[in-house]
Structure 1
Amino acid sequence: MRYRGTNDYNHRQPPRIGVLVTNLGTPDAPEKGALRRYLREFLSDPRVVEVPRLIWFVILHGIILNVRPARSAAAYSSVWTPEGSPLLLHTRAQAEALQARLTAQYGDTVQVEYAMRYGSHSIPEQLQSLLARGVQRLVVLPLYPQYSGPTTGSTFDALAADFRGRRWLPELRFVAQYHDHPAYIDALAASVRSHWQQHGRADRLLMSYHGEPQRYLEQGDPYHCQCHKTSRLLAEALGLSGEDYLTCFQSRFGREPWLTPYTDETLQELPAKGIRSVQVICPGFSADCLETIEEIGVENRDYFLGAGGERYEYIPCLNSEPGHIDALSAIIDQQISGWLPLSVDPDATQSRAVAMGASR
């Protein structure tokens, strides 16, 4: 086996710290061909679909890839912007904001890049960009607050697969979850309060997370528990009682049982219980995408209003809002605190991280 290296590597290049923020990915265009390529890669990941490979190969190539791309292309077209995919735009903006924040603090010592698990801007491509800049210590921050095998676990798989073929490996720190980080909870609470100030409160605050099969929970995946902890901490920060909010799960796929209660069914049932106004937030999504803009913002709105609801509001994801960048910066500060070169004042970093945690 030949291991990949960096051509003309400069051994005198100053060592740097790299930060790689990652998200799920997006098709290159809202078109059937692009969706087919994207879905083939995404749904071929054994972390995403835990079905015997031969059986799944037949289902995927014989049925799903012949039906779903056209349907998904129509959905993506409804959220696509002149600049491209919302998820890609928001993830890029987050990385740029983090780079600006960390450059102001550390100069060019810390280099930030973003990558997608599937599709363009892949993890190997963006990782190579960081290593070419002299990165010898690397923090990987998957932008999934709650750990899940199909998301965070799959990201680590891709990273490990790339590292297996490299001649030289950087020191590595991998952020597996930040569902209960005080700065992240503060950012979520601030976004809800800001929405309340502009629109007032509704009868219920519904916290909707992406679903996953029930059997993953039964086999030890912590995602369900971490989602509920995020909800509880956010409710406490907002001063909500147990009757003021709900935790639900969306985007189920296939016929097997997924985590319940389901978001769509819950919204259809609430009006009959006297709940005529709801506000929905998605604390498991770091950036707005198809599942938040179209599924929550449009499809589930129709379910609620069609069942007799009177007022439905979606509270956008944190995206690149300053409070979110504060939270992500605090997480990164904690990870790199022991890696700082002597020319950087570690006391300033520690003070900032402590201040972020004490702000609750």
Structure 2
Amino acid sequence: MFKSRFLPEPSDPEALVSVPSPRRAGPVGVLLVNLGTPDAPTAGAIRRYLLEFLSDPRVVEIPQWIWQIILRGAVLVRRPSKLAPRYKDIWLEQGSPLLVYSHHLADGVAQHLEAQGESARVALAMRYGNPSVANAIDDLRQQGCERIIVVPLYPQYAASTTATAFDKVASYAGCLRDQPEFRFIKRFNTLPAYIDALEQQVRQYWAKNGKPQYLLLSFHGLPRVTVEQGDPYHRDCMETAQLLRQRLGADGERVHVTFQSRFGAQEWLKPYTEPTLREWARKGVKSVDVMCPGFLADCLETLEEIQIECRDAFLEEGGSQYRYIPCLNGDPSWAAGLAGFIRAQLGGWV
């Protein structure tokens, strides 16, 4: 009988194959991803942050060879020093508001998952800046997480926010030999727990301070062309606004929607926030409350642009009362709602 010299005889001890021990599933990793923030309110830190943020082709959709000349020239030379005083005005003792409040939310989600008996580890990452996506994934892997659910902290989907967070996770995973298993959350703009939290935020504020003539929901803007090319962001925003309007019942008639944070010369989603406030004041509107449902944590765009610049514009045109309703931040009821939503997405994993 033919015998291969490459196969040992059954009696050979080297032929005995050891049986591996059962593979342990380990805890599930929960990766919360927010946009990002400079490490400090200084021109140097802001410049580093803007270089990473504005170099993302999903954020600025013009040919990179053209854009990089503009970015590294006029933008990064002038803009950081202009932004530094604005960041300093909103900076907290613990650091950037966006980072501080995002950590509060992450801690709350972790506590609720633990209270529900889930074997889960929660890590926070920033798409741009620190803590980085790579470091957060490494941290979860070191804790034994071979399954990670990625939750971008954007209720409404946009390619320039949610999609680029997915891109970053996938890019880093492409460098790993032993990749974790991933699940991705695309949106939660109609999630009942999210709408509940927004309604509660509004009603509690009105119970304490009284109702305004109008409640303005200011969402972050996008270039109009991105929506025309298929981005569902505008629809997502309007769905959120409609559900909140319904929840507020008769007070839903006070709700209006605008878009903020224009950048560049092209047309963005309309109506624009500051021009709308100016027009209202000129037409005799005296009291307005503004909230930003698309932001889960307060940041420069809410605390400076909306709370200060838009207030000044409204009062300058004759308005009398302008109030900003804070983001959900680390609100315990919202943390519980988000934890419940995440838990529901873990079917088969836990």
TM-score where L is the length of structure 2? 0.92
- Which of 231, 234, 237 is residue 224 of structure 1 equivalent to? 234
The residue matched to 2:116 in structure 1 has which SS?
Answer: helix
Range 11-20 or range 262-271, more displaced:
11-20
Q: Distance in 2 between matches of 1:263 and 1:273?
A: 16
Which residue of structure 2 lines up, in the alignment, with residue 61 of structure 1? 72
Which residue of structure 1 lines up, in the alignment, with residue 201 of structure 2? 191
Which residue of structure 1 lines up, in the alignment, with residue 129 of structure 2? 119
Q: Distance in 2 between matches of 1:241 and 1:143?
A: 28
- Which of 81, 85, 88 is residue 99 of structure 2 equivalent to? 88
Q: Distance in 2 between matches of 1:91 and 1:240?
A: 33
Q: Deviations over 1:52-109 (max 9, x none)?
A: 01100110011100010001111101100111100000011111111111112225x1
Which residue of structure 2 lines up, in the alignment, with residue 38 of structure 1? 49
Which residue of structure 2 lines up, in the alignment, with residue 273 of structure 1? 283
Q: Distance in 2 between matches of 1:260 and 1:322?
A: 33
Tell me how far 1:240 sits from its aligned partner: 4.1
Tell me how far 1:241 sits from its aligned partner: 6.3
Identity %: 48
Tell me how far 1:317 sits from its aligned partner: 0.3
Letter of the structure 1 residue corresponding to residue 50 of structure 2: L
Q: RMSD across aligned C-alpha pairs, in angstroms?
A: 1.4
The residue matched to 2:112 in structure 1 has which SS?
Answer: helix
Tell me how far 1:171 sits from its aligned partner: 1.9
Larger radius of gyration: 2
Q: Distance in 1 between matches of 2:44 and 2:282?
A: 43
Q: Distance in 1 between matches of 2:135 and 2:181?
A: 18
- Which of 325, 330, 347 is residue 337 of structure 1 equivalent to? 347
Counterpart contact for 2:30–2:120, Cα < 8 Å: yes
2:185 maps to 1:175: yes
Tell me how far 1:243 sits from its aligned partner: 4.1
**Aligned length, in residue pairs:** 330
Tell me how far 1:143 sits from its aligned partner: 0.5
The residue matched to 1:230 in structure 2 has which SS?
Answer: helix
Which residue of structure 1 lines up, in the alignment, with residue 17 of structure 2? none
Which residue of structure 1 lines up, in the alignment, with residue 30 of structure 2? 19
Q: Deviations over 1:108-148 (max 9, x none)?
A: x1000000001110000100000111101111100000000
Q: Distance in 2 between matches of 1:241 and 1:297?
A: 22
Which residue of structure 1 lines up, in the alignment, with residue 63 of structure 2? 52
Q: Distance in 2 between matches of 1:335 and 1:55?
A: 42
Superposition pairs of residues 191-210 of structure 1, within 5 angstroms? 191-210=201-220
Q: Distance in 2 between matches of 1:242 and 1:19?
A: 35
Which residue of structure 2 lines up, in the alignment, with residue 318 of structure 1? 328
Q: Structure 1 segments of 4 or more deviating over 6 A?
A: none
Q: Distance in 2 between matches of 1:216 and 1:241?
A: 33
Which residue of structure 1 lines up, in the alignment, with residue 145 of structure 2? 135
In structure 1, list runs of 5 or more residues that go unmatched: 1-9, 341-360
Counterpart contact for 2:31–2:125, Cα < 8 Å: yes
2:307 maps to 1:297: yes
Counterpart contact for 2:108–2:336, Cα < 8 Å: no
Tell me how far 1:159 sits from its aligned partner: 0.6
Tell me how far 1:14 sits from its aligned partner: 5.1
Q: Distance in 2 between matches of 1:87 and 1:193?
A: 24
The residue matched to 1:270 in structure 2 has which SS?
Answer: helix
The residue matched to 1:313 in structure 2 has which SS?
Answer: strand
Q: Distance in 2 between matches of 1:248 and 1:13?
A: 50
2:298 maps to 1:307: no
The residue matched to 1:135 in structure 2 has which SS?
Answer: coil
Letter of the structure 2 residue corresponding to residue 177 of structure 1: R
Counterpart contact for 1:13–1:134, Cα < 8 Å: no
Q: Distance in 2 between matches of 1:120 and 1:253?
A: 24
Letter of the structure 1 residue corresponding to residue 166 of structure 2: F
Q: Distance in 1 between matches of 2:282 and 2:39?
A: 42
Tell me how far 1:273 sits from its aligned partner: 2.3
2:124 maps to 1:97: no
Counterpart contact for 2:31–2:123, Cα < 8 Å: yes
Letter of the structure 2 residue corresponding to residue 196 of structure 1: W
